[in-house]
């Protein structure tokens, strides 16, 4: 690359890193990433991971809890809590009309139908962002009206974006009829209007809830959090996509990505260069995979090694017995105890590890390696002299 092109590239990358829109987006992305990780743990929905992404599963779970005659055996407490939740969003909803309610699944192809005395509530489940069929909701309303029921509400349940039904090809009368009773609910959200906070978590604390029901609700709430936080990232990526339509910014971002990859190798090279002439008591020092600086010493037929793994945000210092991969024989741990530094490390599959942050702890890492060399030298020299 010519000097002129190098200078141009540096200017482009500098401009990219100073761009206020990109800086705000990076901050938004970082905040989202910190919140995004949700560990389901030993969760029934992680066990059936092949099906928890299906829309029918969410409808089945909701119906199972809302049905007063459901297998939960807790009567109508979950339905009544759901109706109270809806009433906060639609204050004119009369709960008295649903004291003896029935809950149906796929009645007239409606996801979930709550039938009261002569009133009904439609729940249209869009948690998995499925599109609307043409004229779907007006068609459902007609079926309800044909049964001589009045529809009190159409709950349009989305995952984390409060979208509205697709009203393409609806008549003016249909739009007006639906708009009067439409209740848009996000399954995931930080406020009390979300299904997670406004109903699921409230149900977990109901006095009459059984132990099994509480546990399943907790598991389902974790699933909603996991799905909701994952999909939110799409809105951030949409903003990033629009920014990267600028060809100059895109090229600068691609070059920056390439340079970040090479930065890891450069950091590994720095460690190698620092110790290539001073790696004793180890016999050799090498670099593997571009990011693993490793020292090796064979003593009494046993190969001991130190690996310094270079990662994006830090370094992992590892000491282990390369002839005892999982530490079953315990020789590496015994050696650390002799060096009086066993408690400094965590053990991961036979490797004793310590983490150092980049860039703030690069110098402490170098000092740690040097101190480790000194302690190990003292042990091995003492052993040789005794022999």
* Position with higher pLDDT, 135 vs 63: 63
pLDDT at residue 3, rounded to an integer: 45
Q: 60 and 152: one domain?
A: yes
**Is residue 80 in some structural domain?**
yes
The last residue of one of the domains, among 166, 189, 209, is: 209
Instruction: Tally the domains of the chain.
Output: 2
Per-residue pLDDT of 304-354, as tens digits, reads 999 999 999 999 999 999 998 888 899 999 999 999 999 999 998 889 999
Is 166 domain-assigned?
Answer: yes
Instruction: Please indicate, yes or no, whether residues 285 and 369 belong to a single structural domain of this protein.
Output: yes
Question: For position 56, what pLDDT does the model report?
Answer: 81
Say if residue 69 is in the same domain as residue 198: yes
pLDDT digits (tens, 9 = 90+) for 152-201: 999 999 987 778 888 888 999 999 999 999 999 999 988 889 999 999 99
DSSP type of residue 301? T
pLDDT value, residue 381: 77
Q: What percent of the chain has pLDDT over 70?
A: 88
Q: E-strand spans in the chain?
A: 102-107, 110-115, 119-126, 150-158, 182-186, 284-288, 292-299, 302-310, 314-321, 346-348, 351-357
Cα dihedral across residues 112, 115, 116, 122: positive or negative? positive
| Confidence check: pLDDT of 75 > 90 | yes
The tens digit of pLDDT for each residue in 15-62 reads 777 888 878 877 777 776 666 566 667 677 766 655 545 558 899 999
Residue 89 has pLDDT above 60, yes or no: yes
The answer to whether residue 164 is domain-embedded is: yes
- When pLDDT is cut at 50, 70 and 90, the band that residue 240 belongs to is confident
Q: Is 6 among the domain residues? A: no
At residue 272, does pLDDT exceed 90? yes
Domain contains 356: yes
Same domain for 163 and 296, yes or no, is: no
pLDDT at 2: 52
Cis amide linkage into residue 126, ω under 30° from 0 = no
Rounded CA separation 223/208 (Å): 23
pLDDT digits (tens, 9 = 90+) for 92-105: 999 999 988 999 99
Contact 211, 36 (CB under 8 A): no
pTM (2 d.p.): 0.58
Q: Are both 166 and 270 inside the same structural domain?
A: no
Q: Which of 192, 209, 226 is the last residue of a domain?
A: 209
85 with 202, same domain: the answer is yes
User: How high is the mean pLDDT of the chain?
Assistant: 87
Domain with 348 in it: 263-386
CB 108 within 8 A of CB 136: no
Chosen domain end from 209, 233, 251: 209
236 part of a folded domain: no
Q: Is residue 365 a contact partner of residue 317, using CB atoms and an 8 Å limit?
A: yes
Q: Does residue 73 form part of some domain?
A: yes
Q: Which two tokens stand for residue 297?
A: 């010493």
């Amino acid at each position: 690359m010519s000097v002129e092109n190098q200078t141009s590239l540096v200017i482009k990358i500098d401009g990219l890193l100073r761009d206020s829109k990109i800086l705000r987006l990076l901050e938004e992305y970082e905040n989202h990433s910190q919140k995004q990780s949700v560990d389901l743990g030993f969760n029934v929905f992680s066990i059936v991971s092949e099906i928890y992404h299906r829309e029918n599963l969410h409808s089945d779970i909701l119906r199972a809890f809302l049905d007063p005659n459901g297998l939960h055996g807790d009567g109508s407490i979950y339905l009544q809590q759901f109706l109270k939740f809806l009433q906060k969003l639609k204050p004119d909803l009369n709960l008295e009309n649903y004291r003896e309610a029935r809950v149906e699944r796929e009645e007239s192809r409606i996801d979930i139908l709550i039938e009261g005395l002569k009133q009904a509530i439609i729940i249209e489940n869009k948690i998995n962002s499925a599109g609307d069929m043409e004229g779907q909701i007006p068609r459902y309303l007609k079926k309800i009206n044909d049964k001589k029921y009045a529809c009190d509400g159409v709950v349009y349940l989305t995952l984390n974006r409060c979208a509205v039904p697709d009203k393409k090809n609806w008549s003016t009368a249909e739009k007006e009829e639906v708009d009067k009773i439409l209740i848009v609910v996000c399954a995931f959200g930080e406020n009390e209007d979300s299904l997670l906070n406004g109903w699921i978590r409230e149900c977990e604390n109901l006095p009459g809830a059984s132990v099994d029901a509480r546990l399943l609700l907790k598991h389902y709430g974790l699933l909603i959090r996991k799905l909701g936080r994952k999909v939110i990232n799409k809105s951030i990526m949409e903003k990033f996509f629009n920014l990267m339509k600028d060809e100059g910014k895109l090229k600068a971002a691609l070059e920056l990505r390439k340079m970040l990859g090479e930065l890891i190798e450069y950091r590994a090279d720095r460690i190698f260069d620092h110790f290539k002439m001073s790696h004793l008591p180890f016999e050799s020092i090498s670099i593997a995979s571009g990011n693993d600086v490793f020292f090796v010493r064979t003593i009494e037929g046993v190969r001991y090694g130190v690996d310094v793994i270079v990662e994006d945000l830090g370094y992992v210092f590892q000491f282990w017995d390369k002839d005892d991969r999982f530490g079953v024989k315990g020789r590496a741990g015994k050696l650390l105890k002799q060096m009086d530094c066993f408690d400094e490390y965590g053990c991961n599959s036979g490797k004793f590890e310590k983490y150092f942050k980049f860039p703030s702890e690069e110098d402490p890492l170098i000092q740690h390696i040097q101190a480790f060399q000194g302690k190990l030298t003292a042990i091995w020299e003492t052993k040789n002299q005794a022999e």
